[in-house]
Structure 1
């Protein structure tokens, strides 16, 4: 499911590279990339069905709901590029739908197949949702200030594409002089991406995103504690959570 979303996302964004390699559409064409993504998505629920578990039907239902939610989040993300009234609450909701739902459902499915009770599954789902939000925040930071040699993306790619990412939205709504200047320049094609990055940072967008990612990480830890997992499993998931907030690619 994740790879399906990446194949289609690269088509929609027109990205030429992914993980330091050419994207599928850039090598094989848009139609083939869409069809490959569709095929992968069709194969995914078969993995759940093939388990023969008594939970398979529930798992496939959760999976389907997650796909719909992910698409809703992606649709919102696309619409933001044409809107001037995007607030930070709407942007966070988009990130929770697009990324938080994917990781939340993944964690819930793990709990379901492991025989967790309803309280534990809820805690695992919330843990994944918070990790998803943190992941998106860090991803947005890397989209502006990441090292292209590490991320595999062009420098300041999100600003070049004029994406209303979380740091940008926070800066635009900051009420600061830098935020107002950013709003004036953001949709002007001749505006330099380096200057836009400076304005986002000056308006507090970078600090806000970093702090919000850490807050999401802290909430994730609390949900993980409530899940009551054994020490090894809990430790591995906590390490995964920490990675989302401190990765560089």
Structure 2
């Protein structure tokens, strides 16, 4: 009972942190988006949940604001203020949503945050252009911030975007390949997911005037956390509760996605791995019995246990880097709680 109460308290604390992050960064996001032309502004406002498809103001969930929270907390952890780091927090959230708009187009997804995706409402072209606009806005927000490290910040974000694009490119290429290796799958996840989380932490610390050593430790914290998060997310994609994930159980297997546990199972040189490979090379649609069996095979081949152990190890390494950055106690506790909740979700 005590453990359950502690877990609930931690979740409540993280929820408060994320709500604070959203409230802090939203005015800067809105101010940036307001500089755009009417049609693009409407697409972006719809995507963020600020308005309906006709431009009428509404209030719907706009995402968890994890990346802005990392930037803001990294700044306060190294002696800065949230106000100083707000342009950094806004920039990483703009980049993240640029990637979401483009991902939805590339994946053909028709729902995000329990609403039709922007491209499915406004069309492919407007959604792609809206994503492009968010990316340029991110760089503009940093350049206009007046922070002494703004120029270096622009380079940090540009490098993270290059990693993100390379990771997405690899992920798409994996869909057409049968021989995806474990190391290249991990490398893809590190670029696609971890790079921007690492950038968020480094950028916040840099805007706070932290030393290069502290900036790099916080970048490593975000990098390791981001990769751990991807391992946890891939586990949820197979065994997660649909109420938690917003997707049907076994959805990644039904789509024959080469996620980290699956790739590890396929490379295991076990009978279960070979049987799983037959599911992935068979072009017929998989029914419910097939995906239940596939999930069992991933587990039997060791993919589930390996992915969980990797997530746990990466979380431990992330927290070591956080402590090495010598953070202030309160933001350090908030970063630690955020990291634990992001990685140790119900799966």
Instruction: Report the TM-score, using the length of structure 2 for normalisation.
Output: 0.69
Shift of 1:155: 2.9
Shift of 1:248: 4.7
Shift of 1:243: 1.4
- Aligned partners of 1:11, 1:196: CA distance in 2, in Å? 28
* 1:210-225 superposed matches below 5 A: 210-225=308-323
Structure 2 equivalent of residue 239 of structure 1: 337
Shift of 1:72: 0.3
| Structure 2 counterpart SS, 1:51 | coil
Structure 2 equivalent of residue 33 of structure 1: 127
Q: Out of 97, 100, 116, which is 1:22 matched to?
A: 116
**Cα gap change, 1:34/1:48 in structure 2, threshold over 3 Å: closer, same or farther?**
same
* 1:74-153 superposed matches below 5 A: 74-153=168-247
Q: Which runs of structure 1 show a deviation greater than 3 angstroms over 4 or more consecutive aligned residues? A: none
CA contact (8 A) 1:19 1:151 kept: no
Q: What runs of 5+ residues in structure 2 fail to find an aligned partner?
A: 1-94
Moved more, 37-46 or 163-172: 37-46
Q: CA RMSD in A?
A: 1.4
Highest Rg: 1 or 2? 2
Shift of 1:44: 1.1
**Cα gap change, 1:26/1:155 in structure 2, threshold over 3 Å: closer, same or farther?**
farther
Q: What runs of 5+ residues in structure 1 fail to find an aligned partner?
A: none
Instruction: Deviation per CA, 1:1-29: give whole Å up to 9, x if none.
Output: 11111111111112222233222222222
State how many pairs are aligned: 249
Moved more, 57-66 or 7-16: 7-16
Instruction: Deviation per CA, 1:88-144: give whole Å up to 9, x if none.
Output: 111111111111111011100011011111111110010000011011111111111
- Aligned partners of 2:220, 2:208: CA distance in 1, in Å? 17
Instruction: Deviation per CA, 1:168-223: give whole Å up to 9, x if none.
Output: 00110111110010011212133422222221112111111111101100000100
| Structure 2 counterpart SS, 1:54 | coil
Instruction: Deviation per CA, 1:10-55: give whole Å up to 9, x if none.
Output: 1111222223322222222222221111111111112212210111
Shift of 1:57: 0.6
